[in-house]
Amino acid sequence: MNNLGRNLALWVSIILLLLLLVNMFQPGTAQHAAQQLAYSDFVADIDSGHVRSVVMQNHNISGTLTDGTAFETYAPMDPSLVSRMVGKGVEVVAKPLEQDGSPLLRYFLNSLPIILLVAAWLFMMRQMQGAGGRAMGFGKSRAKMLTEKHGRVTFEDVAGIDEAKGELQEIVDFLKDPQKFTRLGGKIPKGVLLVGPPGTGKTLLARAIAGEANVPFFTISGSDFVEMFVGVGASRVRDMFEQGKKSAPCIIFIDEIDAVGRHRGAGMGGGNDEREQTLNQMLVEMDGFESNEGVILIAATNRPDVLDPALLRPGRFDRQVVVPNPDVSGREKILRVHMRKVPLASDVDPRIIARGTPGFSGADLANLVNEAALSAARLGRRTVSMREFEDAKDKVLMGVERRSLVMSDDEKKRTAYHEAGHAITAVLVPESEPIHKATIIPRGRALGMVMRLPEDDRLSMSKKNAIAHLVVAMGGRVAEEVVYGKDNVCNGAMGDIKMATRVARSMVTEWGMSEKLGMIAYADEDQGNSFFGASRNFSEQTARDIDDEVKRLIDEAYVQARNYLHDHVDELHRLAEALLEYETLTGEDIRQIMRGQPIERPEEADDGPVNRRASVPQVTGESSSSGPVDGGGVVPAPQPG
C-alpha cells in the first residue's frame, strides 16, 4: 500500500510539472500591464510632447508618457521617427532584439518540455521492464530462510516426544560432523517425514533440528508450489533446491506436504497436471541423476495415507518419524515448558493437570496454559493458581459457562435428575472410570454433564469398558423415566443416544465384540464412499443382523441402567437435590451423598467447590438444550494398530 501511494504521488507530480512548463513556454501567455497604443496615436503624442521616454527593440517600442502611463506599440520602417523623438526631447533607449540570456540557455529552456516528456517515457518503460522481471521471477522459490539469531529453538524447547527427538538426533549429528558417517560408507537419509495429528509439534521439532545443528533453515508450505499455470511449481522446486545447494549443509522444511505430494492420477479427471508436475520435479531433485548432498528435506503432514508411494520410498523420504499425542509424562514435560513464563501459585501441580488431560496435544496444552493466564489476569491475580487451570480445562473441554441462560425451575430440575442418573450408574458400574465431576451449569451446547477421570492413559478398550459406556449413557434417560414417566421424557438424551449408537456399532462392525457376527470387519475403510453413494461389502441379511446386534447391546445396557436406578432411587433424589443446591459436585461429594453422608463445601468458593483434581475429556451424559443440538457423549479411547 505504501509503494502504491508513492508511485501515485510521483506520477501526479510529474503530470503537474509538465502542465506548468508547457503553460510557461506557450507564446503569448505573459501578462503585460502596459497599454497597447496605435502607431498613429503614438506619433501624435510625440508631436504634442506627451511622450517622456521610449525603449526601442527593432520595431517593438515601449515607453512611458508624461502622465506616467506605460505603453507599447509596433513601429513600421520610419527613418524620421528617431529624429522626430529627439527633436521633441524624448529620451530614446535602443536595445538589440535578443539581449536577455545566452543562446544556449534559451535553447535549453525551449527544449525543456521535450526533455521532460522523454524522461517520463523512459521512466514508464523502466517500470514495465521491472514488471516483466517480476513476471520472470514468478517461478522463483518462495522458501524463507530463518537465521534463528533471536528466539532460537532447540531440543530443550521440545518436550513430550522423546522417541521422535531420538530419531532426529542422528540428523543433527550428521550436520555437525558429516565425516563421522561418510567415512564408513554410510549415507544420511535425504528426507524425513514427520507424521502426526495436528498440534503435536512437527513444525517446532523441525525448527529445533535446525537450531541444534546451527545450519540454514528454509521453510515453505506445500501450497506455495501449486499455481494455476502448469510448470510454475516445478520451477519453484528447482529454484528451492538450487538455493539449498548454495547454503549446504542446510535443512528445507515443507509444511503440509500433502498439498503437493498427493497420489498421482487420483481424483476425478485423472488428477491435476500442475500438482503432478511439481511432484515429479520434487522426486527427481530428491533422488535423480544429480544428488543434492548436504540438503536434507524435512516434511510434515497429518495425512500420510494420501501421499504418493514414490515419495515414500527409500532414497527420498527414507525415514518416517511418528509424532503422536504425548502420554501423561510427556504432557507434564510440555506443561512445564509452557509454564516457564507464567508466574505460578504454590498449589499448581503439573502432574495433576497432565493426568487430567489425556488425548491433549502440545498445542492444546499451550492453549490451556494461555487460557489459565488470561483468566487470572481478568481476575486481577498476580499468579496463576490451580483453580484458574481447572477453569481453563473446563472451558477448553466443555465450552464457556452460560450462566446468563435463563432456565425454568422444571428444566433445571429435569437436568439435575438426568445428570444424577449418569453419576449413579458411573459410580455403580464396576468397569466405569471413576467419576470426577457432575454439573448442571450450561456449557457450550449442553445444559449439564458428568465427567469421569481415567486412572491412566488408555490405549485400548475392553468389551466390559464398552458396555460400561453404554450403561452410563443410558442412565440419564432412565432417570427421567423413573421420575417423570416414559411419556414425559424430553430430547435431553439425544447426545447420549448418538454416542451409545456409535460405540455399539463399532463393537459389532469394527471390534469383533459380537458373537453372532464374529470377528469380521464390516466397516471397511478402504471401501470408502463411491461417487453415487456409500459402498458396502456385505449382504442385506448381514446389515439386518448388524442392526439387531446394535439394538440388543443398547437394550441390554438400558435394562442394566434401569435396574441400578430402581435399586437406588433414594440416592437419585438426594443427588438431584444436591445438584440443584450446589450446581457442581465433585466425585467425592457424589460418593458421600450416595453413602448418606453430608458433604462439606469449601467456604472460599463462590460458584461451587474448588476442584483439586483435574477434569478430563471423558464427558458423559450431556443433557442437550432443546432443538437440533448435538449433546455429545462418551468418546471411546483410541485403539492400537
Q: Residues marked as binding for ATP?
A: 196-203
Active site residue 419: yes
Q: Residues marked as binding?
A: 196-203, 418, 422, 496
Contacts by 522-527, CB closer than 8 A, 24 or more apart: 522/546
The verdict on residue 20 lying in a domain is: no
| Owning domain of residue 169 | 144-322
The verdict on residue 161 lying in a domain is: yes
Q: And the C-alpha cell for 44?
A: 501624435
Q: And the C-alpha cell for 395?
A: 472451558
DSSP state, residue 131: H
pLDDT for res 498: 92
pLDDT for res 126: 65
The verdict on residue 117 lying in a domain is: no
256 and 344 fall within a common domain: no
Residue count of the chain, please give it. Answer: 641
Q: Where are the alpha helices (DSSP H) in 489-568?
A: 494-509, 540-567
The verdict on residue 139 lying in a domain is: no
The domain boundary residue, chosen from 299, 322, 345: 322
pLDDT for res 227: 65
Q: And the C-alpha cell for 500?
A: 451409545
**Can you state the angle between helices 569-582 and 587-594, rounded to 10 degrees?**
140
pLDDT for res 503: 93
Q: What are phi and psi of 437, to 5 degrees?
A: -155, 145
370 and 446 fall within a common domain: no
Report whether 492 contacts 624 (CB < 8 A).
Answer: yes
Count of C-beta atoms within a 10 Å radius of residue 453? 18
Report whether 459 contacts 543 (CB < 8 A).
Answer: no
The domain boundary residue, chosen from 342, 369, 397: 397
- Position 615: which residue type? S
pLDDT for res 320: 84
**Of residues 192, 619, 95, 227, the one with CA closest to residue 397:** 619
**Of residues 305, 207, 314, 307, the one with CA closest to residue 257:** 307
Cα–Cα dist 12/1, whole Å: 17
292 and 425 fall within a common domain: no
Q: Coil, strand, or helix at residue 81?
A: helix
Report whether 607 contacts 460 (CB < 8 A).
Answer: no
Element counts in the chain: helices (H) and strands (E): 20, 17
DSSP state, residue 262: B
441 and 585 fall within a common domain: yes
Q: Residues marked as binding for Zn(2+)?
A: 418, 422, 496
Task: Read off the CATH number of the domain in which 333 is found.
Answer: 1.10.8.60
Distances from the Cα of 483 to the Cαs of 120, 245, 585, 596, in angstroms?
Answer: 89, 75, 21, 20
Report whether 500 contacts 633 (CB < 8 A).
Answer: yes
Q: And the C-alpha cell for 259?
A: 498439498
**Of residues 378, 356, 520, the one with CA closest to residue 451:** 356
471 and 599 fall within a common domain: yes
Task: Read off the CATH number of the domain in which 280 is found.
Answer: 3.40.50.300
Q: Output the CA torsion 573→576→580→585 (10° steps).
A: 130
pLDDT for res 37: 83
- Looking at the DSSP bridge assignments, the partners of residue 344 are 384
pLDDT tens digits, residue range 90-143?
888 887 765 555 666 666 667 777 777 777 777 776 665 544 444 444 455 555
Q: Which of 419, 433, 480, 571 is catalytic?
A: 419
473 and 351 fall within a common domain: no
Cα–Cα dist 39/24, whole Å: 29
- Position 194: which residue type? L
The verdict on residue 482 lying in a domain is: yes
210 and 251 fall within a common domain: yes
291 and 382 fall within a common domain: no
258 and 307 fall within a common domain: yes
pLDDT for res 474: 93
390 and 439 fall within a common domain: no
335 and 483 fall within a common domain: no
**Of residues 434, 471, 446, 448, the one with CA closest to residue 562:** 471
Residue spans of the chain under pLDDT 50: 1, 28-32, 130-138, 268-269, 526-534, 604-620, 624-641
pLDDT tens digits, residue range 259-297?
888 887 765 445 567 777 888 888 888 776 666 667 788
